[in-house]
Structure 1
Amino acid sequence: MISEQSWADAQVLWDYHQMHHELRPCSVAIGLGSHDLGVADTAADLYKCGMAPLIVFTGATSPTTRERMPRGEAVHYRERALDLGVPGPAVLVEPRARNTGENIRFSRSLLVEAGLEVSTVLLITKPYEERRAYATARKLWPEVEFVSTSSPMMLETYVDTIGNYRLVLDMLVGTLQRILIYPARGLTIAQPISEEVVSAYERLCAAGYTSRLT
């Protein structure tokens, strides 16, 4: 069972990972591939609300998605969006990316090759990946403005959808570690981080939620 302290610390990290950006219309939406089809659902909803005239879904497969999405994350995302009523011409697929950096680089190349001018990007990902995706995108595509968003969801609800609280806490911790160490490796821009967040992260590490650490 999870302790009250670990749950409280997980909530601190959950809140920090979300950017709380105000939604606004952008040149394009980019949905980052993963195990979570909710990214495609959110992209479809935002398209219908007029937040972007075009969606790029990006992602190959990984050990966690190979069985569930055998045709590739981006392909399955596109199929989901079409099922939800997004017209085919409004969805592009980038099927090669295997990490967040490749998601951004390959999507950028796809849009350049299509001759599309991009000044703003609606970046759609899992709730706990908003900040890291934003930091990666700003590092690799600095001339573009990014609005980072995800499926609106409480931590409790997300844990229920995954069905494994330990896995969720491990992911929260692993993502926070990358936010801390990736700027020095030149992979992301630095993000402000409070002592409260660092302390919550350290307590979760000490409690054993470490399977997603690099």
Structure 2
Amino acid sequence: MITPRSWSDARKVWDHHLMHHTARPCSVIVGLGSHDLGVAEASAGFYLRGLAPVLVFTGSTSPTTRDRMPRGEAVHYRERAVELGVPESAVLVEPRARNTGENIRFSKALLEEAGVNAESVLLVSKPYEERRAYATARRLWPAVDIVSASSPMTFEEYAASVGDDRMVIDMLVGALQRLLVYPAQGFMIEQPVPEEVAAAYERLVGAGFTRRLIR
């Protein structure tokens, strides 16, 4: 059972992961592959609002997505976007990336190969990956202006949509750990973590929400 304290701590970590950027017109939309088709739906929504003329979906498969997205995350994302009204001609697919860094690097290379001049990127991820995606893109694609966005929802709404509260909190904790350790490894720029958020993270680790931590 998840205690009220752990739930409160998880909400605090969730809030830190959100960048609170306002979606605005950009050169291109890049949707980062994952288990969550909501990323494809949000990306399609931004495209249909006219926020960019090109949409890139990037992602291979992972142990989490292999069964539900056997053709690859980016391919399933494209299929969902087309179902929602995005023309196939507007979508580029990057099917090899297996982590956030590769998502960024391979999308950049794909756009260059396609002759798309990307001066700004509307980067779409799961809500709790907004800050990680932003920090990674700023390190690996520093020449472009990055707007980090996701489906607008509360922590409670997201947890309900996944249907596994413990897994969601594990993912929040894992994402924050990466914000703490990856800058020193050159994977992303440093993002300050407020003391109260760091304390909430430590309490969640102590409570056993450790399945998504890197060892």
TM category (shorter chain) comes to over 0.9
Match of 1:175 in 2: 175
Q: Displacement of 1:199 after TM fit? A: 0.4
Partner Cα distance (1:105, 1:22) in 2: 24
Match of 2:124 in 1: 124
The gaps in structure 1 that reach 5 residues or longer are none
Partner Cα distance (1:48, 1:139) in 2: 29
Q: Displacement of 1:160 after TM fit? A: 1.0
Q: Displacement of 1:161 after TM fit? A: 1.2
Match of 1:76 in 2: 76
Query: Residue deviations 1:79-99, cap 9 Å, x none?
Result: 000000001111000000000
Q: Displacement of 1:102 after TM fit? A: 0.3
Match of 1:144 in 2: 144
Q: What amino acid does structure 2 have at the position aligned with 1:98?
A: R
Match of 1:49 in 2: 49
Match of 2:3 in 1: 3
Q: Displacement of 1:162 after TM fit? A: 1.0
Match of 2:13 in 1: 13
Matches within 5 A, 1:88-99: 88-99=88-99
Q: Displacement of 1:60 after TM fit? A: 0.4
Q: Displacement of 1:192 after TM fit? A: 1.7
Query: Residue deviations 1:26-65, cap 9 Å, x none?
Result: 0000000000000010011111111111100000001110
Match of 2:190 in 1: 190
Match of 2:200 in 1: 200
4+ residue segments displaced more than 2 Å: none
Cα RMSD over matched residues? 0.6
Instruction: Tell me the TM-score normalized by structure 1.
Output: 0.99
Q: What amino acid does structure 1 have at the position aligned with 2:35?
A: H
Q: Displacement of 1:193 after TM fit? A: 1.3
Match of 1:85 in 2: 85
Query: Residue deviations 1:103-159, cap 9 Å, x none?
Result: 000000000001111110000000000000110010000011100000111111111
Q: What amino acid does structure 1 have at the position aligned with 2:74?
A: A
Identity rate, percent: 67
Partner Cα distance (1:23, 1:161) in 2: 23
Partner Cα distance (2:25, 2:192) in 1: 26
The gaps in structure 2 that reach 5 residues or longer are none
Partner Cα distance (1:164, 1:75) in 2: 25
Partner Cα distance (1:98, 1:176) in 2: 19
In the comparison of the two structures, how many residue pairs are matched? Answer: 214
Partner Cα distance (2:52, 2:148) in 1: 13
Q: What amino acid does structure 1 have at the position aligned with 2:173?
A: V
